[in-house]
Amino acid sequence: MVENKQPNPLTTRNFSEVKISLENIIIPEEKLLTTPSGIDGLDDEIELQLRVLGCELIQTSGILLKLPQVAMATGQILYQRFYYSKSFVKHNFEIVAMACINLASKIEEDPRKIRDVINVFHHLQQIRKQKSPIPMILDQSYVHLKNLVIKTERRLLIELGFCVHVQHPHKIIMAYLKALRQSNTNSSERDSSLAQLAWNYMNDSLRTNLWVRYRPESIACACIFLASRKMQVPLPNRPPWYRVFNATDAEVEDISLTILKLYALNRLSVDTLEERVNVIKSAIAEAKKNAKATKLLTDTPENKNTPPVGIKSTATTEKNKIPIQNGNHIIDKSNTENYSLRDGEKERLKYTEDNRKLRKRSYESRSRSNSSYSGRQKSPKRRKIDQQKHNRRRRSNSRSSGSIYHRPRSHHRHHRNRGKRHGAHSSSSIKKYRNQHKRH
């Protein structure tokens, strides 16, 4: 891959060690060669077909959801980026495709409900398996799938570092064609056909990894180059017209060959691809199981009793050298012959056990005295009340009608609460306290 140009100072800013850019993310060559799926044992051909299949699902679902083309393109680019940090073996491509199209609709400010996204993918799955279209039942499996898509969308954002900005070449293609049209005398009908064919090549290139390898300006030049060759439209060749737009011969040639190889790809069925992935997944699970069994066999009881090697063993040895005084005996834990329960440890343990029993006994006695089963609870300490002042008539500030000399409502509330404190919880007991202080 040709080295990238210097970042544009108008779209890039450096903040300490963080670089914020509005340009597309270009993955380095060493990461393109060693993908996580390849490390897990997945073949390069199978990985390529899974990438193409996932992008086709995003494109088809976007059409059914009536999303704009930029949203579908954003979802496919996010799908390609994600699988350069995660493996197809550990993450299901269909769930990731749902999360990508759902996130892309939010990025392009044309969101769709996650229920609609799941229903569209369910419909596509039924068509692929040649089944009659049946609506999805909103049962527990639907709830589980919905939560899984939401969780995958969050993981997608975390893995991409929340860098989900995508620069699309749709406007770039139209601007380049307008600039080339001024230097040619072709008919307007042929120009529109050329633009449509270049647009189609660009949409097909979204299924490949070109968008994480090259700048959108170079991809736009390659799409126009293929369309002009297909329609036999002459364009400036000496020097090549795409050099004006900072695209090199090697970039245009590599992008064009990658797009043409996509049409010659020997496609496998979805069931075959899923079967290949499941075989590798089972092999990885079996290898982990065997490694765990081998580790358990090597960890024998003799090895478990031996102190660990390193810092922990040194700290344990230093701790054991400290003498401990138990009663009249001094025990050195480094000497195992002197360290026994016969010397002073037994007395200390007995003393600790007796104290524990005493604390437990006192706690149980307090619990029994405070429990509701021990009879009437003790009433709180009451303040002394002057009975003469208590029975004296007073002017009421209440809003109730009647004589101006009567007990306020707070007075009856006081006796009602007083009766409750003394255990008179029934309505008859409350009436009894009210009648005792009722004035006629």
Q: Where are the domains of the chain?
A: 34-159, 170-263, 323-353
Q: How far apart are CA 147 and CA 128, in angstroms?
A: 24
Q: Per-residue pLDDT for 440 more than 60?
A: no
What pLDDT sits at residue 26? Answer: 81
Alpha-carbon gap, residue 28 to 25, rounded angstroms: 10
Structure letter (DSSP) for residue 125: H
Q: Long-range CB contacts (< 8 A, 24+ apart) of 14-22?
A: 22/165, 22/167
Q: Is the pLDDT of residue 126 over 80?
A: yes
* pLDDT for res 16: 52
Span 365-385, average pLDDT: 53
Under 8 Å CB-to-CB from 418, ≥6 apart: which residues? 433
3-state secondary structure of 21: strand
Architecture of domain 170-263: Orthogonal Bundle (1.10)
Helix 93-107 and helix 140-159: axis angle, to 10°?
70
| pTM for this entry | 0.63
Res. 406: pLDDT tops 90: no
- Let me know: does 224 contact 175? Beta carbons within 8 Å: no
What is the dihedral sign for C-alpha 400, 404, 406, 411?
positive
User: Is domain 34-159 annotated with CATH 1.10.472.10?
Assistant: yes
Strands (E), 303-363: 323-326, 329-332
| pLDDT tens digits along 173-223 | 888 888 887 555 555 777 788 889 999 999 999 999 998 899 889 999 999
pLDDT of residue 336: 46
Contacts of 242 by beta carbon, 8 Å cutoff, 6+ apart: 221, 222, 224, 225, 252
Of 356, 287, 313, 277, nearest to 45 (Cα)?
A: 277
Residue 366: how many other CB atoms lie within 10 Å? 10
Which residues pair with residue 331 across a beta bridge?
324
Q: Are 121 and 60 in contact (CB under 8 A)?
A: no
pLDDT of residue 373: 47
Task: Tally Cβ neighbours within 10 Å of residue 351.
Answer: 11
Tell me whether domains 34-159 and 170-263 share a fold.
yes
211 or 18, greater pLDDT:
211
Amino acid at 399: R
The highest-confidence range among 226-240, 287-301, 365-379, 418-432, by mean pLDDT, is 226-240
Contacts of range 346-351, beta carbons closer than 8 Å, 24 or more positions apart: none
Mean pLDDT of 270-283: 90
DSSP-derived letter for residue 7 is P
pLDDT in the model for residue 104: 94
Sign of CA dihedral 95, 99, 104, 106: positive
User: Which residues in 224-364 belong to E strands, given as ranges?
Assistant: 323-326, 329-332
Q: Please, are residues 409 and 420 in contact by the beta-carbon 8 Å criterion? A: no
Tens-place pLDDT, residues 58-109: 999 999 999 999 999 999 999 999 999 999 999 999 999 999 999 999 999 9
| pLDDT tens per residue across span 296-338 | 778 655 555 555 444 444 444 444 454 544 444 444 544 444 4
Number of separate helices (H) and strands (E) present in the chain: 18, 4
